[in-house]
Structure 1
Amino acid sequence: MASNRTFDEIEIGESAEVERTLTADDLFVFAHASGNINPTHLPDIDWSGDGVIDAPVAPFMWVGSLISAVLGNQLPGPGTAYKSQTFRFLEPVEVGDRLTVRATVTAKEDGRVLRLSTRVTRADGVCVTEGEAIVVAPDRRITFDASALPGILVERHQHFDRLVGFAAGLPPLPVAVVSPDDANSLGGALMAASHGLITPILIGRAEAIAHTAAEIGGVLDGIEIIDLPTDDQAARRAVELVHEGRVRALMKGHLHTDTLLHHVVKRDGGLRTGKRLTHCFVMDISGRPTPVIISDAAINIAPDLTAKVDIVQNAIDLARAIGTEVPKVGVLSAVETVNPAMASSIDAAVLSKMAERGQITGGIVDGPLAMDNAIDIRAARSKGISSLVAGQADVLIAPNLEAGNMLAKELTFVAHAEAAGLVVGASVPIILTSRADHARSRLVSCALALLHDHWLKTGASVVVPHEDGEAAEERGKQIARETATDASGKPAQSARDASGSNA
């Protein structure tokens, strides 16, 4: 709650201050609000054209605008009206700089006019901006509830940048790519290979693969191709390569998912582990502090309780592989209380109890939870839900495939989240791509497979907290720029034309 000080209450020499750290999102918001798209003020852009991303500096007027936060919120506060403001801009401000913004009353004049000296300093004590503000102070008490202010969400996908960056730091993953004879599947495999995420072995109709490569401008030099005439034979051979130790993941190309999975799940010679195969969508949702996993939205149509145990455990394992140390799992239903007439609520309660008893390990499981109180802490509190998961779920378990699939696609196409996916539960990760998947989705799916493979081998994740992962994030942003695509899905002519983030 913001409250003001009236003209009569204010004394000469009185001061107020706020602190603010410049973030990349601040630069995007200011660019949109002001219309100033000078590239020297925008993150992740090589504006000098030398092939190196240039560090942005804040527009000086963004720095100057911080002074209004002191005047409008504290001194005098709500009801203040500007008459004039002068600035002397002395030093640049960069992303990460912590600023102290201070205003001090120097004079009181007729007409409720105040003069205030204004000063903005960095954490090292260096003054970056100074000047004078002249304002008309309010003559009556005004309070304002700041919680009524609508939020602003900047559409950036930093989680995927970081995951790709960390994956790129690992040795490439040997992958059998099954029937990659269309532009999407072959292009995705070649893109991931060019950035060191996978070492592909292409299995299928060699002539069709070569023809597709020529169409998309792909280079097959040095890539092994196993020529087989049918999708079924290609899928069988891919599974055999896993048993031979030549590959550690499979990637679906231009064939039906059932054809590939038939050879994965067969009892003799398949890739069974005793767990059910489940699909996990990993979502990079703007504004969420971690990636969000949704399962199962692609394989298990109407899972029973036994299947849901594997769905939950597989999702926890993948979350740990991508850096969530103790995943919080929300098991979804239409309500947050157990209703005997609603099977999903009963399953959710049982799964929660099974996790408490150690039958599901590695995460914290709670349910039933409705979607709102699974991801929004205020919704959870408004319904009196006290839980380590409610309002902060890292994993969302859908009651069935239809609900999971709709949830993932609503987040993608309505909330502008980015999605990647992986099938887990087999002895190796399986990259399932769709014709609708764009280049970045395919690339991130390969990164997920590499990170999951590393976790399977070592029991540890290479993904570290954000403050320790800045180099990986920058590496991921660079890869994102280099893999930008045009409308046809072909590689963009210039990586410089693409930005790893957008607002």
Structure 2
Amino acid sequence: MAMDKITTANGIIEQAKALGKEYGLFRVAVAAAEDDDVLRACSEAAKLGIAKFTLYGSEKKLKEIGQTNGIDYSGFTIVDSDSAAKSAYLAAQAADKGEADLIQKGFLSTSALLKTVLSKDFSLRTQNTVSHVAVLNFPGYHKLLGLTDGGMVVKPTFEQKIQLIENAVSLFHTLGYEKPMVAVSAPIDYIHPRLPATTEAAQLTAMSKSGMIVDCDIHGPVTFEAATNREIALKRGIKNYVAGDADIFLVDSIEECNIISKVLILFSPAAFAGVIVGAKVPVSLVSRTDTAFNKLASISIACLLSHHLKRVKK
């Protein structure tokens, strides 16, 4: 169905509700579900008519968490599991069999979950680089901003940067951004031969202009402040229309992405939705310390991506 560009975290949740109503509830497999904030988010998503959930984890612990926190498991399926590793395996197996549309990370490490999901035991890995996209909604910026990659690729090569852009652009298409504007990060806004981030950013910009990278507009090198503040960009003589209006900010390292996103989350504060892109099913992925709202937003954006992937297949 046709959709307007989504500009807020609440808009992501509302769109997931609309899709759940029109196409049926999304099926979510929750790996190591013994996390009270994850369970609150799942409960809220179920109440909103977004998704239905299968919880993989200790049935005893899940019931204890439910009783302590007043979480209603009505309509949930609980599959008892004696370890996080087994829970991850069962969740990945459900997705691989087509019994789940997406996977939600619970109380286990990202590396443990993705090692299982992308293992040769299942056919969930594709030829694409798998990457994490953090979508933030923070005061002072007029729309959503995607940051990548803060969860998977530690120091992307030039070739990986192309694939990170493609993954993030695919996600933003699901949010109604027909031709997302991608800013490529560097410590300065001009090319310097001793700073590879600047030369690679310039190459990516040239590839976009020549049509070698499609479905988006790319500009770089550009600093974060110039990418997100038009006044600063103009003062520095940057007149490219991506500057000050970026939809996606491609960073040069996992450390950079984490610093930017966590500062915004802690001090803005920013609402946050995180998802793994590039596998056959999305993986809703946030920090164990994230709020229930951020986890609800992450479930919702993973649902939107799942819907998009199914439409692309058709």
TM score, norm. by length of structure 2: 0.91
CA distance in 1, matches of 2:122, 2:212: 29
Q: 1:158 to 1:274 in 2, by over 3 A?
A: closer
1:185 aligns with 2:63: no
Alignment match, 1:318: 171
What amino acid is the match of 1:308? Answer: K
CA distance in 1, matches of 2:90, 2:304: 24
Residue 8 of structure 2 aligns to a residue whose secondary structure is helix
1:274 aligns with 2:116: no
CA distance in 2, matches of 1:457, 1:343: 38
Cα RMSD after superposing both structures: 1.9
Q: 1:354 to 1:267 in 2, by over 3 A?
A: farther
Alignment match, 2:191: 338
Alignment match, 1:221: 74
1:268 CA displacement:
4.3
CA distance in 2, matches of 1:433, 1:327: 23
Is the 8 Å Cα contact of residues 57 and 81 (structure 2) preserved in structure 1?
A: yes
User: What does residue range 92-111 of structure 1 map to in structure 2 within 5 Å?
Assistant: none
Say which of 261, 268, 282 aligns to 2:114: 261
Is the 8 Å Cα contact of residues 253 and 433 (structure 1) preserved in structure 2?
A: no
Is the 8 Å Cα contact of residues 9 and 272 (structure 2) preserved in structure 1?
A: no
1:337 CA displacement:
1.2
CA distance in 1, matches of 2:284, 2:145: 18
Alignment match, 2:156: 303
1:360 CA displacement:
2.7
1:391 aligns with 2:240: no
Provide structure 1 residue ranges, at least 5 long, that are not aligned to the other structure: 1-156, 461-503
State the identity %: 28
1:343 CA displacement:
1.7
Is the 8 Å Cα contact of residues 52 and 75 (structure 2) preserved in structure 1?
A: no
Is the 8 Å Cα contact of residues 7 and 142 (structure 2) preserved in structure 1?
A: no
Residue 10 of structure 2 aligns to a residue whose secondary structure is helix
Residue 266 of structure 1 aligns to a residue whose secondary structure is coil
Alignment match, 1:231: 84
CA distance in 1, matches of 2:7, 2:230: 22
User: Greater share of helix residues, 1 or 2?
Assistant: 2
1:291 aligns with 2:144: yes
1:250 aligns with 2:85: no
CA distance in 2, matches of 1:376, 1:434: 28
CA distance in 2, matches of 1:163, 1:169: 10
User: What does residue range 342-381 of structure 1 map to in structure 2 within 5 Å?
Assistant: 342-381=195-234
Residue 367 of structure 1 aligns to a residue whose secondary structure is strand
1:329 CA displacement:
0.4
Alignment match, 1:82: none
Alignment match, 2:3: none
What amino acid is the match of 1:231? Answer: A
Is the 8 Å Cα contact of residues 330 and 389 (structure 1) preserved in structure 2?
A: yes
Is the 8 Å Cα contact of residues 297 and 404 (structure 1) preserved in structure 2?
A: yes
Residue 330 of structure 1 aligns to a residue whose secondary structure is strand
Alignment match, 1:160: 9
Alignment match, 2:18: 169
Q: 1:267 to 1:310 in 2, by over 3 A?
A: farther
Is the 8 Å Cα contact of residues 131 and 152 (structure 2) preserved in structure 1?
A: yes
Q: 1:392 to 1:428 in 2, by over 3 A?
A: same
Q: How many residues align?
A: 304
Instruction: Give 1 or 2 for the bigger CA radius of gyration.
Output: 1
1:436 CA displacement:
1.6
1:270 CA displacement:
4.1
Is the 8 Å Cα contact of residues 329 and 389 (structure 1) preserved in structure 2?
A: yes
**1:289-311 Cα distance to aligned partner (Å, 9 max, x none):** 32111111122221211221121
Is the 8 Å Cα contact of residues 7 and 143 (structure 2) preserved in structure 1?
A: no
Say which of 299, 303, 312 aligns to 1:450: 303
Q: 1:216 to 1:335 in 2, by over 3 A?
A: same
Residue 283 of structure 1 aligns to a residue whose secondary structure is strand
Say which of 265, 270, 274 aligns to 1:417: 270
Is the 8 Å Cα contact of residues 239 and 270 (structure 1) preserved in structure 2?
A: no
Is the 8 Å Cα contact of residues 179 and 231 (structure 1) preserved in structure 2?
A: yes
Residue 296 of structure 2 aligns to a residue whose secondary structure is helix
Which deviates the most, 405-414 or 349-358? Answer: 349-358
CA distance in 2, matches of 1:177, 1:382: 48
Alignment match, 1:99: none
CA distance in 2, matches of 1:448, 1:281: 10
Is the 8 Å Cα contact of residues 33 and 56 (structure 2) preserved in structure 1?
A: yes
Which structure has more relative contact order (CA 8 Å, sep 6+)? It is 2
User: What does residue range 138-157 of structure 1 map to in structure 2 within 5 Å?
Assistant: none
Q: 1:283 to 1:247 in 2, by over 3 A?
A: same
Residue 251 of structure 1 aligns to a residue whose secondary structure is strand
1:158 CA displacement:
6.9
1:434 aligns with 2:283: no
What amino acid is the match of 2:271? Answer: E
1:379 CA displacement:
2.0
**1:436-491 Cα distance to aligned partner (Å, 9 max, x none):** 2112111111110111112222259xxxxxxxxxxxxxxxxxxxxxxxxxxxxxxx
CA distance in 1, matches of 2:88, 2:269: 34
Q: 1:175 to 1:359 in 2, by over 3 A?
A: farther
**1:111-165 Cα distance to aligned partner (Å, 9 max, x none):** xxxxxxxxxxxxxxxxxxxxxxxxxxxxxxxxxxxxxxxxxxxxxx971222211
**Deviating runs (4+, > 6 A) in structure 1?**
none
Q: 1:360 to 1:206 in 2, by over 3 A?
A: farther
Is the 8 Å Cα contact of residues 130 and 276 (structure 2) preserved in structure 1?
A: yes
